[in-house]
Structures are given as structure tokens and as C-alpha cells.
A and B are shown apart, each in its own frame.
Chain A
Amino acid sequence: MTSGNKKRKNRRSPIGYIVVIVIMATLLSLLVYEHYHPIRKLPAGTWIREHDLSAVTDQAIHEWLHSAETGLTELPEADHDTVTVNVILRIDADGGYSQQLDTASYEAAAECAYRNLEKSLRSVISARFTALGMTDESGLPDADIDMLMRDAVGMSMDEYLHKAVPDIMPSQEELADVLDRSGFCRIDGDLISFDNDAGQVFLSDSGRLLIGDELYTEVRDEQ
């Protein structure tokens, strides 16, 4: 009877192999596909970017100083710092988003703009005094200008400029009108669109988000 049993061997089904191969191939295909066509997720989180107001404030400075061109055939150049405000973008996992102007950064930007204006005004004052021969070619020292300001208007240059040029920047309300918005956003391929607009290419990578040509930095809550 043993010889009959010895003749019976276990045969494995080929279907199992096929299933495993198919699954492996599918997974591999998905990996390849994912590599070349990655599945995008909404960049949920809080993001912040800088909105450059330098051109706007430089224009305001130029217009205010224009009246002082008497006696000068060209305005002397002064080194200006970049004037920026922060814009905060929040994106929820379900696609809701809100964007708004960071009011704290607005105050800082305004002070930067006034510092730029002060630099330019001091430069023009010095140039006018030099052109009139009331000082030598090295110009009028800042300390002398400060003393003349006290005598002329009873305040510092900074205080004077805040009073004389109150609108060196667009108002907070005007900027908020332009920058503040909220609604829903969605992903379509590699485009992100806000409130059904045309969509912009976006990239996100380790704490940075690029939407169109605007670069956001992720704001991580400190724990």
C-alpha cells in the first residue's frame, strides 16, 4: 500500500503565482505612475508670503520730493530698504481657505517706508545746501539737519514726515481690499484653483509652497 501513497505528490496551483505577479506588477506600475504623475494633495496648513510694496512707496516718495527739485537738476540717489507686508494663507484639508493681510507687518512696512523717505529727504536737503554753497561738497551733516528741523518745525525729521506725508503707503483698508479673501480651493492635476479661477501651477516641498510665482513659507505651530 505504501507505493501508492508515494506516488501521490502535492501540486501547487499556478493561479497563486499569477495573482502575486499581477499584484506586484500593479504596485510597480502604480509606483512608476506615482513617480511620473504624483498624486497631489491639498497643501493644508498655514502659509505666509511677502507682498512687495517697494515700487508703490518709492513712487510716493518721488512724487513728494518732486517739489524740492528747485535748485537741483537731478535728485540724488539714496539706498532704500525693501518694503514688504506679510500675507497669511490658511488652507483646510477639506479645501476651505482664507488669505489676509498680516496687520503687524503693515506697521513695520510703514516704518520702513518712512525710513526710506527720511534717507531721501536728508539727501536732497544736503544736495540743496551744497548747490547753494551753504555747505561744502561733503554735504550737510545729519546732526545739523536735525538741529535745523527742530528750529524750523519743532519736531524730529521722523515726526515731521509722519505729519507731512501721511499717505506714503496704501492704507491698511486698501491693501486688505486687494489681499483679503476666502472660499474654497481644489487641486486639478498640478494646478490649484481658488474659487474656480483659472488655476495656477503649484509646488510644495518641505515647508515651502510655490503658487504661480508667489513663494509661501509654512508656519508651523510651536509646541
Chain B
Amino acid sequence: MSRTCTESDIRRWRASTVDDMTAARRVDRVRKRSIKVEAKVRLLELALSMVDLTTLEGRDSPERVRALCRKAQRPYASRPELPSCAAVCVYPSMVPHARAALGEGSPIKIAAVATAFPSGQLPIALKLEEVRRAVQLGADEIDMVINRGAFLAGEYARVFDEIVATKDACGEAHLKVILETGELGTLDNVAAASRLAMAAGADFIKTSTGKIQPAATFPVVLVMLEAIREHFLETGTKIGMKPAGGIRTAKQALHYLALLAETLGADWLTPDLWRFGASSLVNDLLRQLLWRAEGYYQSPRRFSVD
């Protein structure tokens, strides 16, 4: 399907504005909601099954990626009944190692960041080649970054076309579009970028690379969820959401799920439509789950450090 964007599309994406104060107030209200104990345990397990276990460091090595895959398959060795993570998220060069560790047909997806992650500052032809190679190597999902420089300069059509081209290069692979909200500056920009990305063919929209502060914040996620709702009401297509960066505690994860349930409803409470981009979050989720199951707070030292 060929996708184009017109001046009137751009005006529509930019038209409705976000009131920061109202967003902050709504987030505060959701974060104060109490969650009952039984629901909490189920939500913690759900959150565990939604994690894109991530390692995106210069020092990544094949062994580190293998360890990450083992952790994604079985987050805590002595509790095999706990769900596995949704995916591992790695650099393209690490995709073959992840595929070898997980095997063909693994329920755990392999997500590769591409398009000159994290800055996105490469000619488009090279970015598309990177995407194609990552998919060839075995990536199920591609996490691309948008061209923030072009977006902030008002070249929306260029950003749009780049996403469309990347989507084509992905083929069967799912496309997650990273907006890098920490660089977009305002919630209005976040809303416009979300609408643009969804119109261009994103399967997921994602807050951040994790390399820029602030990364995922509650107001930003709320605005993106509202954009997903608008898109669903207009087109009937369900787009997924992935907050990433700085999500370290189970409490944050529960607050995000509460925000999700209140904004988009229970249909979205599935790893197909919501992911957490995180690594240390898994240990805190395990810690809370073991506390609920055994009555003892585990020492953080008892969990593997990824």
C-alpha cells in the first residue's frame, strides 16, 4: 500500500494541542489508584511477559547477548512457572547470536534497533540497508528512530517518507517507531509525531532510545496512548505502545499498566500491544513476585545483573 502525506494531513496532526497541566493531573490521579493484592500479582506477571529485555551498549558481546536470551526465556531459574519475556532487544550485529541462543520459531521475539540508532543521522539509503540486513539476519521486529532534526525543522513529509520506506524495508518484520520524546521538547510535538508515525505505518510507537534524558515519562506516555486511541477510532487499527528508558521499578510498571487500562482498556493489556523497553525492571518484578509468593524480600544481589 502506498502511503503519502499531504499538507492537510500535517495540519491535522499539528492541530489539536495538549494541555500540560491536565495531562499531569490525570497522570497523578492514575498513579494514586490502589491495586488490590490479587490483581497486583497478576499484573506483575503480565508486566514480566511484556518486557523487551534490552542491551544496547558498546560493550555488548555475544556472551552477554546469550545470557540475556537465557534470562528472557526463564527470568528466574528456580521459578520456571513464571512467564518469559516478550522479546530481546539488541543491536543488528547481535541478532545472529540471539537467534542462535533462542532457536528458530522461539515465542520470544528478537527486536533489532536500526536506522543508525540512536541518533538516526545517516543517509536514508544506508538506514534502509541496515533494516534489510537486520531482518535477513533474523530480526522479528525493527525499532527505528525518527529523524528528529527533520521533525523539529518542520520537514514532516520527510520524516513520514522515511518511516514509510523503513516499513517497506521491514517486510514481514514488525516496525516500532522511536519518537525520542526527550528531544521533541513539548507534548504537542509528541502528539504530532505519534499521529505521523501511525499514519506512516508504525505497528508500535515507542517513547525513547534510552540514551537521552528524560526518557519515558508518564505524561508523554499518556499523550501517546491518547493518539493511539484517536487512530483506533478513526481507522479501527490497534497500534502498540512501548515506553522505554528509565523504567526500573515494579511500581512504575504497575502505574503504566493502570494508565494503559484507563486510557485504552483491557484489550491493550497484552504483549502484542504493549511492551516495556527495560532491563533492570525484570529484577524488581521478580523481587515483588517472590515477596508475594514467599513472604520474603529477596536481596537484589540474588538476581543476575544484565
Q: Do A and B come from the same complex? A: no
- A residues near B (Cβ < 8 Å) are none
